Structure 1
Amino acid sequence: MVTSSGLIVEMAVQFRKEFVNLPLQDQLAITEFAQHLMIFGFENLEGKNKSSDNVPTNDPKWREKVSYAQKHHLWHYHIGIKQYDKTKDFGERTSEYVLHYQKLGNVIRLVDYSSHPPFKLPSEIYLQN
């Protein structure tokens, strides 16, 4: 399916299984994010969107996490659940929950969803398609 932005959004197998059990509000926020990507790409997102290899250098597993995130092309987006921190500028807003995804060329694969902090990278089972 060709989208306005040229991006294709899909869900990894494990995440698709878990998605149906998320609260409806969370499902809607994730679906809205996917639709936004398909129409507008990464422009004008309310939440903070960043590469998951941007790990604090004082993290004891810094090298391991950076390598893992780069190897798997991992990113995460602050999805606004439970709510956005409105004291931050639009596009930089953070939230308790982040949506993990892989940027694989024009394919965006949604892979996991978790609270933050602590920041945890998705395990390899979540990366299988």
Structure 2
Amino acid sequence: MDSAKRGQVQRIVEFSTHFDHLYRKCLPAADLEKIDDFTEHFEQYGFDGLPGKLAPTWKVPGIDREYEAKKRFAVENYLWHYHIGIPHYKPPQFIGNSYMTSDWVVHFQRIPGDQLIRVVDYDCHSPMHMPELGFLK
């Protein structure tokens, strides 16, 4: 019996051409393991129970001079980012938060319906840059 007949949702992870190049040619093994942990978790459980912080990328700090343009770009392209745990996870900053942060994040498109994500970039969180338009293809 396939997963659709058992009532399980099939979740799909895609890599953009840019990210596929990073994944296959540029990233160290430890980073690839963390990325694999994230993508496998998404395929099995969706976004429930992730240890790292998951956030919409349109929450750009308001002091950024290009705030409105960056926010519009992130919203229009469904951009989110996930703290991947590289080089390690940091404990929650505030009491009551259950997620951890890290210096590095994966950027992805969270397609409405949460059954498909497209991983598009990998970058340092601070300062965080928006993925370029060409990275989304």
- Separation in 2, partners of 1:9, 1:35: 9
8 Å contact kept, 1:45–1:91: no
Residue from 50, 71, 75 that aligns with 2:80: 75
Q: 2:126 maps to what in 1?
A: 117
Structure 2: 5+ residue runs without aligned partners? none
TM-score by length of 1: 0.91
2:71 is the counterpart of 1:35: no
RMSD, aligned CA: 1.9
Aligned residues: 128
Quick one: structure 1 residues 83 and 14, their matched pair in 2 at CA, closer, same or farther if it must change by over 3 Å? same
What is the one-letter code of the residue matched to 1:78?
H
- Which residue does the alignment assign to 2:106? 99
Inter-partner Cα distance in structure 2 for 1:90 and 1:29:
21
Alpha carbons of structure 1 residues 120 and 2: separation in structure 2 relative to 1, 3 Å: farther
For structure 1, which runs of at least 5 residues remain unmatched after alignment? none
Q: 2: distance between equivalents of 1:24 and 1:91?
A: 27
Compute the displacement of 1:95 (Å). 0.5
State the identity %: 34
What is the letter of the counterpart of residue 82 of structure 2?
Answer: Y
Q: Say if 2:66 is the partner of 1:57.
A: no
Q: Find the residue that maps to 2:21 and give its secondary structure.
A: helix
Deviation at 1:108, TM superposition (A): 0.3
Aligned position for 1:24:
29
Separation in structure 2 between the aligned mates of residue 90 and residue 15 of structure 1, nearest angstrom: 30
Structure number with larger C-alpha Rg = 2
Assess if the C-alpha contact under 8 Å between 1:97 and 1:113 holds in 2: yes
Deviation per residue, 1:6-31 (Å, 9 max, x gap): 32111111110111220000011101
TM-score when normalising by structure 2: 0.86
